[in-house]
Structure 1
């Protein structure tokens, strides 16, 4: 695999890095979090102007034909700045499902609005009983003439409190754990029967719990083939996991930089603590864990294009295990090396630790992916 960026990708990286450095210092992030949506609509418009919202879409749909590497570049920069905007929810998850499953009419109606920044999407799939199992769906959808009626509840819908449209998964046949029988619906967030309870997550982002009671949607709300949505959801979740790996690398990189900067100015016994060899060793260990995570994030991004779902899942799970371990080590070392100030609101290290902790639990924690990887036979087949 070639991990070198081409000229266009380097230009993208420079542009996004510059945007984050100029617009997302720690004080600015605090102001954005205090806005009505919990993030900046003005910056969202800038993302649209820069083409970031249209990055993964085809030129036929008005996009820029970007792929997983471009998404990796954007998400790594966003991780450095701890960005609050709903890029993952709208572009990676919602936009990913539109790309894979949307018919010509749905794409023509929704994707240009998404690219321009006028449409926010949210994937409503997770349920309270499901934990990390994508096939565990109790929300139901039944026929109502030419349309459908949805009933059920969804939990931890990323940016579900501000989304204009919800991509709701529901079971139209089969039992609770059956992989077949799941459908996806594009539902206007203001449809009668939908109740949304928004809340702030531990890392400063927004999410919502949804209740659907006799929610009626027309026939053209169906996204993709009825009853065969799970493979599409699994593919988009793998793409989202690769994006989260890249975001974690960006967050870990900035955490490491902040820690090294602090070691150079904090004095004890009349000298900077960074002059102590034991402290230097711990900083080096942080760098080693960071570079291991970076390599696996690149690997995960490249493997999102793998057509074999098992091989793709193995690569993504392996990356998640390494990045979960790296994130925990780096964030814990950062807080400890900062001392008591590391867990205060005024110290950035604690905020990065919160985000890295939340990233580990999205779509499966480290233990879950380690078990999944073992179930699939490991990343490298054992010699027999």
Structure 2
């Protein structure tokens, strides 16, 4: 199997890396996370201009001919730079709209509309398949969705709700009647909102098996991109720690020469490379026809990220010592983001259960 990226994919990676280096230095990021909305609208315009918003969609779906690999590459580089733009939410929204063949996907790819998914509820604890919100009448939504990233700047929301026909997907005006947002900041400085829908008018996109299939596939794409971001965070934390151990001295020598610390760095490297390998496996399975194999591969990497990410982030902080937990150093920010990712769209327990169920169904 060839694990090398194509020249187009390498060019995509380089463009994201250059953006982070040019537009997202540490001082600018600090200013953004302390601002009311936590993002810079001009950055999203750059994402659209450079084609990143359509990089993960086929040409038939309205994108630029890429797929999950392109999304993972973009997310990995954004993770290295701790970029706060809600790219993962965009990936899920784009896949949902493409699956239901909505014309709105063009507006999304061109950056003309901001559309984000509202799929999670408190009762589900990250499990998007648990839906208690209700759709009734001529399509009005009642219920509460939690941890909706990018809601404050969104034009529309893609909401999952249950009706007499089963679970459906609905398009709702983010600032429309019957929609109340309670915005807050998570521990990793992302802006999210809990959204209360009180008979909010909606447009039905899909219902029943078509909606559930679209939702599962879209969230799987989002999880793969999320794991790509985690890989970028882990890799950045690993090498930042290596560089620190080379210059921090104790007893007249760099502490990186101490064998005990070298062993801990080796453990961090092993965990990072394990996530990388499982991510490659998930990328190979995501477009296959075997839904059980896809679910198993994606849950395997997500469960591993949920534990390995916290291990690498925690070791990075410990090896830096007291300075590792300070606001001014990027190490603590890597850990905070990895902490949130560990629970986003399900923790390791949820994905171990999903992995086991997928393996049993394939047996």
Q: Structure 1 residue 62: deviation in Å?
A: 4.6
Residue 133 of structure 1: SS of its match in structure 2? coil
Any unmatched runs of 5+ in structure 1? 174-179
The corresponding residue for 1:128 is: 122
Residue 188 of structure 2: SS of its match in structure 1? coil
Cα deviation digits, residues 156-209 of structure 1 (max 9, x gap) = 112222211000111102xxxxxx700111111121111001111111111100
| Pair 132,205 (structure 1): closer, same or farther in 2 beyond 3 Å | closer
Q: Distance in 2 between matches of 1:136 and 1:52?
A: 31
Q: Are 2:299 and 2:351, in contact at CA under 8 Å, matched by a contact in 1?
A: yes
Q: Distance in 2 between matches of 1:164 and 1:347?
A: 35
Matched, 1:246 2:228: yes
Q: Distance in 1 between matches of 2:361 and 2:241?
A: 33
One of 158, 162, 168 as aligned partner of 1:171: 162
Matched, 1:296 2:258: no
Q: Are 2:127 and 2:350, in contact at CA under 8 Å, matched by a contact in 1?
A: no
Q: Structure 1 residue 69: deviation in Å?
A: 1.1
The corresponding residue for 1:278 is: 260
One of 214, 232, 240 as aligned partner of 2:199: 214
Q: Distance in 1 between matches of 2:357 and 2:170?
A: 31
Residue 59 of structure 1: SS of its match in structure 2? coil
Q: Are 1:373 and 1:379, in contact at CA under 8 Å, matched by a contact in 2?
A: no
Equivalent positions of 1:134-153 (< 5 A) are 134-143=128-137, 147-153=138-144
Q: Distance in 2 between matches of 1:100 and 1:47?
A: 22
| Pair 130,119 (structure 1): closer, same or farther in 2 beyond 3 Å | same
Matched, 1:156 2:147: yes
Q: Structure 1 residue 227: deviation in Å?
A: 6.5
Q: Are 1:320 and 1:366, in contact at CA under 8 Å, matched by a contact in 2?
A: yes
The corresponding residue for 1:200 is: 185
Q: Structure 1 residue 61: deviation in Å?
A: 5.5
Q: Distance in 2 between matches of 1:379 and 1:329?
A: 31
Q: Tell me whether 11-20 or 345-354 shows the greater mean CA deviation.
A: 11-20
TM-score under structure 1 normalisation?
A: 0.90
Q: Are 1:184 and 1:226, in contact at CA under 8 Å, matched by a contact in 2?
A: no
The corresponding residue for 2:349 is: 367
Q: Are 1:56 and 1:63, in contact at CA under 8 Å, matched by a contact in 2?
A: yes
Q: Structure 1 residue 266: deviation in Å?
A: 1.2
How many aligned residue pairs are there? 363
Q: Are 2:56 and 2:69, in contact at CA under 8 Å, matched by a contact in 1?
A: no
The corresponding residue for 1:343 is: 325
The corresponding residue for 2:105 is: 111
Q: Distance in 1 between matches of 2:100 and 2:229?
A: 26
Q: Distance in 1 between matches of 2:234 and 2:58?
A: 31
Q: Are 1:314 and 1:379, in contact at CA under 8 Å, matched by a contact in 2?
A: no
Q: Tell me whether 132-141 or 304-313 shows the greater mean CA deviation.
A: 132-141
